[in-house]
Amino acid sequence: MTDNNHSDEARKRIGAECFKKGSQAAESKNWDYAIEMLRTSVKMVPENVFYRQVLRGAEERKYGDNKKGKRLAGFSITKLKASIKAQRMKSNWAAVDQTAEEGLALNPWDTGLNAALGEAASKRGYSEVAQFAFEKALKIDPDNRDLLVGLADVFENRGSYLEAAQIWNQIQRLNPQDSKARMKANQLSANSTMAKGGYEDAERSQDVRQVNAYDQDRPVKRDLPEQVTGPGLDQEADLRRAIRKNPEDRAVYMKLAGFLRDQKRAGEAFNELKAVEEKFGNEGTFRELFEDIELQARADDIEAARLATQANPDDDKAKKRHQSLVKDHILREIDILKRRMTENPKDLGLKFRLAKNLMKFKKWPEAIPLLQQASSGDQKNQADILVHLGKCYHAEGRKELALRQFEKAVPMIDQHERPHMFVEAHYFCGRMCEEAGKKELAENHYLDVISVDYEFKDARERLDKLGAAAEED
């Protein structure tokens, strides 16, 4: 779907220009021109999921969000789907992409067209676009197994094993007799652990333990260990026996999940709790443990992706996978923290944690009030909070307020216990004092920086420059 007549830089520039024109036209509700420009931007930069999202939004608003699209467009869409079928047989995924977009301009809610786009984007390596397309289709047909499988495959190919396992669990809930769904959920949960390093030596899928204690099949004879451990000899085995004995005891599931988490097997722990989420409800301590383990499992996936990127520094796909996992983790943690804050509005630790995550997306105005509230009572993390607050003010251009926070934080920071925070705070102070013409103060701050980290950023060069200027004066 890309224009091969343009260089990579040129197509991105053209795409950005068309996107700007399309967005402006959409604001004026000039839908036909807006969609024309936005479709061109998508054609030029098909990997850009944001362009697709804005295009779909314009198409939906054009039809008044009627969930049906253009009147009497059924025949045209049927012809386009026939073309897609022929293009799919030839594996011409760029053509499938373009034809699907042509149809979605007539009916942006059509599940078949969204699914075709998802498949084409996945084949072309546009993971975020594929996810967006399948999720749009699932909003219309949430229990469609093929759509769920398509989305699960996107997550699995990206290395997001936890999300993929969740979808296969959903498929199994829709049909408890679906043995493949159950097998995939367990396998993907185990993959998350294997990626972290738990089962590198497993030679075949049967070597990996099934993770659902209550629902798991009993092992065939060849899979049994030579000597079965008795009660009291293996904590995990004891907990699984307790679950089989009393599958209605929620506390035992939580103990097993906690044990697996402590054993660095967060993916398995998550799958244990996910399997019984509907049975026990998702509230209170159960929900918090569930969320904490989910975040840990995501963190494990991120670490595995980071190591893969480190081992293959030229693998762009691995880099994108790592970046995507990091972004998804932060967004999920923000959602969890916001919900917890509604239940615990006085928890200053939650406010600080949420603020730090918001800062990762440069949401300074949202982070500042949270940090202000946290600084009023959290004495343990006072220096850390002030440094983060200073960074927010600095990013917002409020330099005097920023300097005030850093200056309050500096005396609280032990250079031996928190060396990076120490040099960072002094560096910010030095920069702002230098900009304000307070050269002597700036020199002192830069001296503090290089006394701990001689190579920190450009502190040494700035100090030398200030010294040279002083000699000239």
**Count of domains forming the chain:** 2
Q: List, as one string, the DSSP characters of 412-442.
A: G--TTTSHHHHHHHHHHHHHHHHHTT-HHHH
Domain stop point among 320, 343, 366: 343
| CA proximity to 423, closest of 410, 439, 436, 442 | 410
Q: Provide the pLDDT for residue 282.
A: 66
Task: Decide if pLDDT at 472 tops 80.
Answer: no
Do 104 and 165 fall into the same domain?
Answer: no
Tokens 């467009």, residue? 73
Do 32 and 122 fall into the same domain?
Answer: yes
| CA proximity to 189, closest of 274, 276, 268 | 268
Q: How confident is the model at residue 210 (pLDDT cuts 50, 70, 90)?
A: very low
Do 130 and 181 fall into the same domain?
Answer: no
- Phi/psi for 320 (5° steps) reads -65, -40
Q: Provide the pLDDT for residue 434.
A: 94
Do 302 and 193 fall into the same domain?
Answer: yes
Give the separation between CA 403 and CA 417, rounded to whole angstroms.
22
Q: How confident is the model at residue 152 (pLDDT cuts 50, 70, 90)?
A: very high
Can you give the CATH number for the domain in which 72 is found? 1.25.40
Task: Decide if pLDDT at 21 tops 50.
Answer: yes
Please check whether residue 53 lies inside any domain of the structure: yes
Q: How confident is the model at residue 228 (pLDDT cuts 50, 70, 90)?
A: very low
Average pLDDT over residues 330-335: 93
Q: Provide the pLDDT for residue 53.
A: 92
Q: Provide the pLDDT for residue 378.
A: 79
Domain span at residue 244 reads: 160-213+235-343
Domain stop point among 343, 376, 397: 343
Please check whether residue 454 lies inside any domain of the structure: no
Other CB atoms within 10 Å distance of the CB of residue 63: 18
When comparing pLDDT for 227 and 161, which is higher? 161
Q: How confident is the model at residue 283 (pLDDT cuts 50, 70, 90)?
A: low
Give per-residue burial for 22-50: e unless 16+ CB within 10 Å, then b: bbebbeeeeeeebbebbbbbbbbbbbbbe
Q: Tell me: the pLDDT tens digits for 89-140?
A: 999 999 999 999 999 999 999 999 999 999 999 999 999 999 999 999 999 9
Task: Decide if pLDDT at 226 tops 60.
Answer: no
Q: Provide the pLDDT for residue 106.
A: 95
Task: Decide if pLDDT at 366 tops 90.
Answer: yes
Give the separation between CA 300 and CA 160, rounded to whole angstroms.
10
Please check whether residue 469 lies inside any domain of the structure: no
Do 56 and 183 fall into the same domain?
Answer: no
Task: Decide if pLDDT at 230 tops 60.
Answer: no
Do 184 and 105 fall into the same domain?
Answer: no
Tokens 């998550």, residue? 270
Other CB atoms within 10 Å distance of the CB of residue 447: 14
Q: List, as one string, the DSSP characters of 128-163.
A: HHHHHHHHHHHHHSTT-HHHHHHHHHHHHHHT-HHH
Give the separation between CA 357 and CA 462, rounded to whole angstroms.
31
When comparing pLDDT for 266 and 394, which is higher? 394
Task: Decide if pLDDT at 57 tops 80.
Answer: yes
Q: Provide the pLDDT for residue 183.
A: 87
Q: Provide the pLDDT for residue 95.
A: 95
Do 73 and 202 fall into the same domain?
Answer: no
Q: Provide the pLDDT for residue 438.
A: 93
Do 168 and 76 fall into the same domain?
Answer: no
Q: Provide the pLDDT for residue 214.
A: 38
Q: Provide the pLDDT for residue 193.
A: 54
Q: Tell me: the pLDDT tens digits for 371-403?
A: 999 998 878 899 999 999 999 999 999 999 999
The mean pLDDT value of the chain amounts to 85
Q: Tell me: the pLDDT tens digits for 175-198?
A: 888 888 888 888 887 766 555 544
Q: Provide the pLDDT for residue 232.
A: 59
**Nearby residues of 108 by Cβ (< 8 Å), 6 or more positions away:** 56, 59, 60, 63, 69, 136
Do 200 and 324 fall into the same domain?
Answer: yes
Do 118 and 192 fall into the same domain?
Answer: no
Do 106 and 181 fall into the same domain?
Answer: no
Task: Decide if pLDDT at 355 tops 90.
Answer: yes
Lowest mean pLDDT among 181-190, 264-273, 288-297: 264-273
DSSP label at residue 222 = G
